[in-house]
Structure 1
Amino acid sequence: MPTQTDVLVVGAGPAGSGAAAWAARHGLETLLVDAAVFPRDKTCGDGLTPRAIHELDKLGLTEWLQGRTVNHGLRAHGFGQVLHLRWPDVPGSDLPTWGSAVPRTELDDHLRLTAVASGARSVDGARAVDVVMDGDRVRAVVFQVTGEDGAKERVEVACRWLVVADGVRSPLGKVLGREWHRDTVYGVAGRSYVKSERSDDPWISSHLELRDEEGKALAGYGWVFPLGSGEVNLGAGALATAKRPADIAVKPLMRFYAETLREEFALVGDLRAEASALLPMGGAVSNVAGRNWALVGDAAGCVNPLNGEGIDYGLETGRVLAELLAAHGVAGSGEELDLATTWPALLRESYGESFSIARRLAGIATTPKVITALGPVGMRSDLLMTLALRWMGNLVTDEDRDAAARVWRWAGRRSIARDARPPFS
């Protein structure tokens, strides 16, 4: 473990590894540290939308991805309908028209190695437990490591800049004062793997009408993402708020959901690697940055409230933060850059409006009666569902000027103006 570095990145998921790769490519001395020993698993749907593919392409990983599995879009099931919705091909957009799905055990390890190949140094099996402050700056991070004799040791690593990318729970973020607010919508999700004869299906499937064993409609959805490996990622999730908590047992629901699909998706055997997680969404966290530190990805609540997707935001925020640090000089002291004000403002500018309207819509969807009333109407319209895929899949970029993008931005501006607590505040 080095004792000092320019950029210290805590957490080697997509956000952290992406930040480390870009920081190293910009010439900054970079250390990437994770508490786990890689390869390690992560509770996730494993889906990669075109926006995530776009970020991975920037890292030079397109050929690697195309050697896994490629999908055309979303097969939406619900209310007696099945719609095939291709990833949109928007004139002028630089997003690709294909997606993928890669188990996080494989994706995260490959991203970590990409960061190393880019010039970052990587250490795993070291847990960040505290920080050493110098005024309003983080001078060093304290890690707990296991010595050769099995004894726990504490090691300090000094840094100029700290990138906190330690996931949805963000233990280091909590040390720094990060707070998750559950008054807006959050997710409760379960994930598993199961063998399937349709593992090479070129469509990801989402069941928008999710019911329990008694036939009661739930405020959530289920998914089946083919992995091209003989298995699919199968999961179920529900939306909740502090006022309307999700009153479900995720793993039993996921098993029941799998049984309802066993014949249709040619599932073989039992579910394996069942796991569940809570997901802060839509920037529902405060204190995302300090003088020389910032939260990225899941740690900053950068998860789409409408579909639970966070890999694209993780990769984007990691890259943008690394570019921001590099823009202030490789050899400079970094004193002139105050992330405490710069980073929250940048997050709100990039995601505030879209997160605001998305979590407002998702909050409405926490009422099952709304789902059963509006679901059949939406599923009867290819146009409405195509728009929903565009908006739910985070497929509106700053460059888009079409009607769907204008409507989304219009709704976002009006939504954020009504927020009692805007994203990232």
Structure 2
Amino acid sequence: MSLALPLQRTEVLVIGAGPAGSAAARQLARAGFDVLLVDQQPQGRDKICGDGLIPDAHKALARLGLLEQVMALAQPVSHVGCIAPRGGRIDVPGELAVLPRRELDNLLCQAAQDAGARFLAPARFEKPLVNEQGRVCGAQVRIGDDVHEIACDWLLLATGAVPKALIAAEMCERHTPSGVALRGYVHAPSMVGRIKAMEVVWNKAVRPGYGWIFPAPNDCFNIGVGVTDSHKAVSGKGSKKELNLRAIFDAFCANYEPAAALMREGKLLGELKGAPLRCTLDGARWSRPGLLVTGEAAGSTYSFTGEGIGKAMETGMLAADAIIQGKAKQWNDAQLREAYEQSLRALKPKFDLYQRANRVNAAPWLADLLIWRAKRSPRLLARMSGVLRETSNPGNLVSLKGFSRLFLE
């Protein structure tokens, strides 16, 4: 979108047009705010992701008024297939779908514009503008070889897992990611109907991570591996554990026959691509005067599963809510920031529970035990389904108390 630069002013400047940034921009624009949404890539950019839409994503999309549009494009899925190292399997029912991020992010970005937000791309965030009182009052963005200044009342950083923008804004507390993932798309018509669930696979070959295969639209499949806790934090910077994602991916395909069949019978579309993850609402300051951090930049991805689309949209809308309420209630800067941070603190226990459940990735025999028992216990299967719906505690499934209950239900 062509804008009158270099001089530009807006009420809210949103950096990053992924699920968090676009959700925030749409909500703010719908509330009557002047919003400028900026991204360093053109609309419709790709994003390394499993593409799974679990119930929290459905809920967020419904609030945005976009669920029907997304589901018209997505591949609906009725179950998550959990596969243990010894081959045991349990299919956990849920409200699920798969849509490649290129399509989802394009739809969300366009929806923000349809609501009245302006979009500027490609434009790269350089650093915030700060006034004499130390409050963020805008940002420098680079367009081609030129740097422009854009003034704003509030700056939202929704810049994802790469920490460069957080560092420039002095918001980064952890330079390295919480995890890493590698994924590819495979066109395989022969596998349609043979892989119907969103399959998540644990075995020793992919330890300390997991593998996945998700059925996508147009006879395609999203296949990948993820490793959470991939970096050990050392004085905020951290160091990478000894792991090779490509080797883990190859081991996944060698040790899980459906993955081997998919790669053997299908055609890999493009290259395998890797990306960092920021999890557990850790690793970044959430706010400073005039600035809010949201989405995966704030750590909105769940450890254990690596799911982050729903929580990215949810945190983006929480940032928008704080700004909307702040204007309506005439809050000062500190009151608005506290309202936003309080809403994130309310989410934090959920993230902590997923971190507890993450022990399954390091000790995959736990998956053997859980799946063996779930096949014999309708109540345990219902609790596992409740984890998807966020009505059950994922950490309790692998706690000492949880194990004792496995043999009493």
Q: TM-score, normalised by structure 2?
A: 0.84
Deviation at 1:138, TM superposition (A): 0.9
1:172 equivalenced with 2:162 (yes/no): no
Alpha carbon RMSD of aligned pairs, Å? Answer: 2.7
The corresponding residue for 2:109 is 112
The corresponding residue for 1:45 is 50
Deviation at 1:82, TM superposition (A): 1.8
In structure 2, relative to structure 1, the CA distance for the partners of 1:172 and 1:182 (3 Å cut) is closer
Name which of 119, 134, 141 aligns with 1:136.
134
Residue 226 of structure 1 contacts residue 233 of structure 1 at CA under 8 Å; is this kept in 2? yes
Residue 76 of structure 1 contacts residue 84 of structure 1 at CA under 8 Å; is this kept in 2? yes
1:23 equivalenced with 2:28 (yes/no): yes
Residue 25 of structure 1 contacts residue 119 of structure 1 at CA under 8 Å; is this kept in 2? yes
1:212-263 CA-to-partner distances (Å, cap 9, x unmatched) read: 5xxxxx1111101111212100000122251795432112322442354232
1:367-413 CA-to-partner distances (Å, cap 9, x unmatched) read: 3xx323x232112022445534533x3x22xxx5xxx469969x9xx
The corresponding residue for 2:407 is none
In structure 2, relative to structure 1, the CA distance for the partners of 1:210 and 1:9 (3 Å cut) is farther
Name which of 82, 86, 91 aligns with 1:84.
91
Residue 326 of structure 2 contacts residue 336 of structure 2 at CA under 8 Å; is this kept in 1? no
Deviation at 1:171, TM superposition (A): 2.4
In structure 2, relative to structure 1, the CA distance for the partners of 1:205 and 1:361 (3 Å cut) is closer
1:257 equivalenced with 2:252 (yes/no): yes
2:128 alignment partner, SS class = strand
Q: Distance in 2 between matches of 1:331 and 1:127?
A: 33
The corresponding residue for 1:153 is 146
Residue 129 of structure 2 contacts residue 137 of structure 2 at CA under 8 Å; is this kept in 1? yes
Q: Distance in 2 between matches of 1:59 and 1:175?
A: 30
Name which of 210, 219, 224 aligns with 1:235.
224
Name which of 101, 124, 127 aligns with 1:127.
124
Over the matched positions of the two proteins, sequence identity in percent amounts to 25
1:346 equivalenced with 2:340 (yes/no): no
Name which of 384, 387, 391 aligns with 2:383.
387
The corresponding residue for 2:202 is 208
Letter in 2 for 1:70: P
1:71 alignment partner, SS class = strand
Deviation at 1:106, TM superposition (A): 0.8
Q: Distance in 2 between matches of 1:266 and 1:199?
A: 14
Residue 190 of structure 1 contacts residue 277 of structure 1 at CA under 8 Å; is this kept in 2? yes
Deviation at 1:164, TM superposition (A): 0.6
The range that moved more, 300-309 or 193-202, is 193-202
Q: Distance in 1 between matches of 2:185 and 2:339?
A: 41
Deviation at 1:331, TM superposition (A): 11
In structure 2, relative to structure 1, the CA distance for the partners of 1:386 and 1:248 (3 Å cut) is farther
1:168 alignment partner, SS class = coil
Deviation at 1:174, TM superposition (A): 1.5
Q: Distance in 1 between matches of 2:300 and 2:337?
A: 17
In structure 2, relative to structure 1, the CA distance for the partners of 1:407 and 1:83 (3 Å cut) is closer
Q: Distance in 1 between matches of 2:321 and 2:339?
A: 13
In structure 2, relative to structure 1, the CA distance for the partners of 1:315 and 1:406 (3 Å cut) is closer
Q: Which runs of 5 or more structure 2 residues have no equivalent in the other structure?
A: 234-238, 400-409
**Higher helix content, 1 or 2:** 2
1:155-174 CA-to-partner distances (Å, cap 9, x unmatched) read: 11100011110101142222
Q: Distance in 1 between matches of 2:102 and 2:394?
A: 38
The corresponding residue for 2:213 is 224
The corresponding residue for 1:283 is 281
Q: Which runs of 5 or more structure 1 residues have no equivalent in the other structure?
A: 88-97, 147-151, 213-217, 412-425
Deviation at 1:271, TM superposition (A): 5.7
In structure 2, relative to structure 1, the CA distance for the partners of 1:133 and 1:139 (3 Å cut) is same
Q: Distance in 1 between matches of 2:162 and 2:30?
A: 29
Q: Distance in 2 between matches of 1:75 and 1:387?
A: 15
Residue 210 of structure 1 contacts residue 221 of structure 1 at CA under 8 Å; is this kept in 2? no
